[in-house]
Every structure is written in C-alpha cells, then in structure tokens.
Chains A and B, each alone.
Chain A
Amino acid sequence: MIDKIFLNMTRTSALLILFIVAWIFVVLFNHSIEAMQTFGFDFITKDEWAPNLEKFGAYAAIFGSVASTFLAMLLAIPVAIGVAIFLSEIAHDKIKGFFGVSVELLAAIPSVIYGMWGLFFFVPILRDIFGGMGIGLLAAGIVLAIMILPFMAAVTRDAMNTTPDILKESAYALGGTQWDVIKDIIIPYAKAGIIGSLILALGRAIGETMAVTFVMGNVHHTPKTILDPTTSIPVTLANEFTEADSSLYFSSLFGLALTLLVMSFVVIAIAKFYFLRKVRKGQ
C-alpha cells in the first residue's frame, strides 16, 4: 500500500519535468500567436522595433544574440582549450588541484557580477581604446567570453581527462613530445567530448542575460560595426518585459522568448545527443 503511494509520488515528480517542459513550450507559443499572425516571417527578418508604432521585428535582437555569442566563442575557445591543456597535461599535480578548483568555483560566480565588472571596469577601457561609448557588441562578446570561460575550460578538461593513460604512455614511449601526445593522442581521442563541451558552453552563452544586459546598449539596430551598441533576445526581454503596455508588444516579447528557447534547445540537444552521446558509447 505505502509502496504504491511511494511509487506513484516519485513517478509523478519525474513526469512533472516532462510536463513542465511541454507546458513552457505551449504557453510561450500561445502567447506569441498574436505576434506571429500579425507579422508572419517579418517578425524574424525585419529589424524595425517600434513599440509606439506597434511594429515589432526581432531581427536585430536575433542577430545580436548570434553575433555576441559567436564573438564570445571566437575569443573563449582558444583560451579555454589552452587552459584545459594546461590543467590536464602541463600543470604540476599541486597546481592542478588548486587551479582546477578555482576554475570550477569561478564558474559558480553569478553572471550579474561579470556584467557589473564589465560596465564599471571594462567598458571604460574599451572607450579609451576605440572611442565611442564602449558599450556595444564587442563589450558584450568579451564579457560573455570571460563569463563562459571557466565553465568551458572545466568541461573541456574533463573531456580531455577521459583519454586512457595507457594510450598516452605508449606515445611517450615512442619518443613523442608532450605536444605530440596532446595533438595526436588526446585531441583525436577526446574530439567528440571536446566539441560537445564547447557547444554546451555555447548553449549557455546564447541564453545568458545578466552578463550582457549591462554592456550591450539595448538599441534595436543591427550593428554596422562591432563597436555599435545593439541588443540581444535576453537583453530585450530583461529591459522591456515589465514595460510592455499592449497585447501585441507582450506577444512579440513572448515570441522572442520562444525563439530563444528553441535556439538554445537545438544547440544543447546537438551537443548532448550528437557529440556527448558518442563519448558515452565509446567508453
């Protein structure tokens, strides 16, 4: 009797996850129908966002999300791989433990703090170097890169650590240098895991709100240069959600949220199911 109740309680909790996820999609979809009906495909291809005229085109926000994430990945990937190699192959055991833990702890620092640092300490430097406001796509890309770096380095290191020692030792026995072992043994062996980890980090970066809200500018224009202020989907949501005053405005914001959710779901699913599953099967 109690056995049955216990089973049912745990099963209901587990099914609740599926239910919530489905519910999120349904709710976001329902609320964005009005915008979709009004604008159709123009919603994602036009960049005119004028609440006073009831015109909502999300292209600038979508472009800003993609561009800032791309920029962040461009900057973070080489450094993260370098850090991962350092942590898994180069560093002395004692340093490894200390740096390894500090990298993981840094990944836990709230992203809003990266945003504050960006606004008060990094944007002025950019302003001095490039002129202009300092706030914009470049600042967002760099702050995002720094924010995602600890997570990316930690998961990439974990992927590299799956390489069996025996493979590495055989390569050393043949006279390989450390770099030979890294380039010809570890990276080929852990390739799927490394790519999966990098994409997973990308999935996190694309939905990141607080690190970029401070430094992006929230201007609905597709930027002409990397220094121009622009916006992204999460930045628009964070700035405008509580200000929306018409149902079409709301509906457009829900449309943005749905777009973002679909984008990140696809990215994360590719990382998990295509690359990281390969790793699990390989083991």
Chain B
Amino acid sequence: MTATQKRIIINRIALGFSTLSAIIALAFLFWILGVLVMKGVDSLSWSIFMFEGSPPGYAESGLKHALVGQLILVGLATLIGVPLGIMAGTYLSEYGKNSKLAHTIRDISDIMMSAPSIVIGAFVYAVVVMPMGHFSAWAGAIALAIIMIPIILRTTDDMLQLVPGTLREAAFALGAPKYKVIMDVVYRGAKAGILTGVLLGIARVGGETAPLLFTSFNDNFFTTDLNEAMPSLTVTMFNYAISPYDDWQQLGWAAAFILSMFILGLNIVGRLILLAGKRK
C-alpha cells in the first residue's frame, strides 16, 4: 500500500467517525424532541388552558395557573431586566468604549452569563425572600432579571458597536446632544439587533427552573398576587414529573411541550429578525 492510499484510507475512517458522531448526537437529540412532541401532543387538550391545578385524579385539572404565572414572572423579569441591560450596554458601547472599567464590566458580565442559575436563586432567597418572610413572584422575577441582564447587555453592546461611527458624527455635526444622537440615531440603527437580543434573553430565562425553586416557589392554584408564591410552568413541570401520579405526569409533559414551543418560537423569530435586518 502506498503512502497516498494509506492517507486516503485514514481520511475515510476519520471522516466516517465524525459523521457517525454527528448521527449519534442527532439521534439522541431527535429522540428527546420526539418524546417531547409525542407526549406533549398526547396530553394537550382545551381543559389545560381552562382549569387550574387540582389534586391528582380530578378530571378538571389544567395548567392555567402555571401558564399565567409563567407569563407574569417572565414579563416582570423582562420589565426589570431589559431596560437595565440596554442602558448598561449603551454605556459600554457609547461612553465606556475601550476604558478599563468598560472591559471589566464586559468580562464580569460574560462570566455571569454562564454562572450557575441555582446560585442566583440562593442569593435572591437571602436578600428578598428572607427579609419579606415568604416566597413571592417579585423574588422569582428578580432572580430571572439578574440572569437576563448580562445577555441583554452583551447583545446591546455588540449591536451598538456595529452602527457606523460616521452616522454618529453626522448627527453631532448637526448639533445634536449626545443623548439625542444615541436615542435617535444609534438605537434606530441597531433596532433589529437589540430586539433579537431581548427575545433571546426572554427565551433563555423562560426555560429556567432552578432560580425559581426557592424564590417564586410554586402554587397549585391560580394567583395574580405578586406578593405571594407564584406557580410557573417550569417548577410545576418539575413537581408533576417527580410525582407518582399518572395524570400529573401527563400535565408535566403538556407543560414541557408548551414551554418548548414558546422558547423555540422566540428563538426562531429572533433569528428571522436578525436575518431580515442583515439583508437590508
């Protein structure tokens, strides 16, 4: 066998292994997706949206409480996290630029993006739940907001830096003060990118369970009181899945399916917006 033949054979083997690993990986992932869709569609029904949680065995049980709770928690977290994240990103891109402080903030925020979310939960428990004396929707929303801020900060910073400096200079030359330049020129130029960042940030915290376990806790009943424990899809899913009751487990899969579709949808819309923005 010549050296060339040997190399060609080694090449085939190596590429074969790589393709094989791709197939194995995708097989596992599609197995999980398949289970999610089959189980989820199986358990979906209108009653899920009409009824709140009830003891196992009752026909009239649903996820209304968890769906509404999830929307409230994620909505509150968005209201807190998005403005702070965008403003912080604006500072880094427009004022801080390459200063040491700006770089330190970028680095720390990047690390925070991958920090264990359950630790954030423990922190919020100590500073919000303990002083208040009980679990609350506020605590859950604050925990989610803390996780969301670094994501929004990073995308805002990146997207604002993509806006050409000449645009800013042109606006300055017309006599606009800096805040007006940022609000009317820079933000407008980076609109699609910032929106994508916000959507991805919401998608990320929407799937978080760990930081909610001991902040917003859980509740099997419908509530809109922000000072009380608040049910969420993720924690409800967790509690139902580890319960020994078949009907609760079914509801758990329905919750998993609804949540995944919501998060995949946000991801896809975010990508489409970014693509549409690039094409322009």
Contacts and interface: CB of A to CB of B under 8 A. Distances in A.
Q: Do A and B assemble together?
A: yes
Interface of A: 2-3, 6-7, 9-18, 20-21, 23-24, 27-28, 31, 78-83, 85-87, 90-91, 99, 101-106, 108-117, 119-121, 146, 149-150, 153, 177-180, 182-183, 200, 203-204, 206-210, 213-214, 234, 237-238, 241-242, 253-254, 257, 260-261, 264-265, 268-269, 272-273
Main secondary structure on chain B at its contact with chain A?
A: helix
A160 to B, nearest CB: 12
14 contacts: A10-B94, A17-B112, A17-B149, A20-B149, A24-B119, A78-B21, A81-B21, A108-B204, A108-B267, A177-B8, A203-B114, A213-B238, A237-B118, A272-B107
A87 B15 CA distance: 12
Contacts of B17: 82
B109 interface: yes
B119 A86 contact: no
A210 B209 contact: yes
A153 B29 CA distance: 13
| Residue among B117, B146, B179 with most chain A CB within 10 A | B179
Contacts of A114: 32
Given A14-B105, A120-B241, A146-B32, 7 more contacts: A7-B91, A10-B94, A13-B84, A86-B18, A87-B22, A179-B14, A272-B111
Q: How many B residues touch the partner, as a band?
A: 35 or more
Select the residue from B92, B123, B238 with max chain A CB neighbours within 10 A. B123
B35 A117 contact: yes
Interface in B231-280: 234, 237-238, 241-242, 249, 252-253, 256, 259-260, 263-264, 267-268, 271
Given A27-B123, A28-B123, A178-B11, A3 B150 contact: no
Contacts of A31: 126
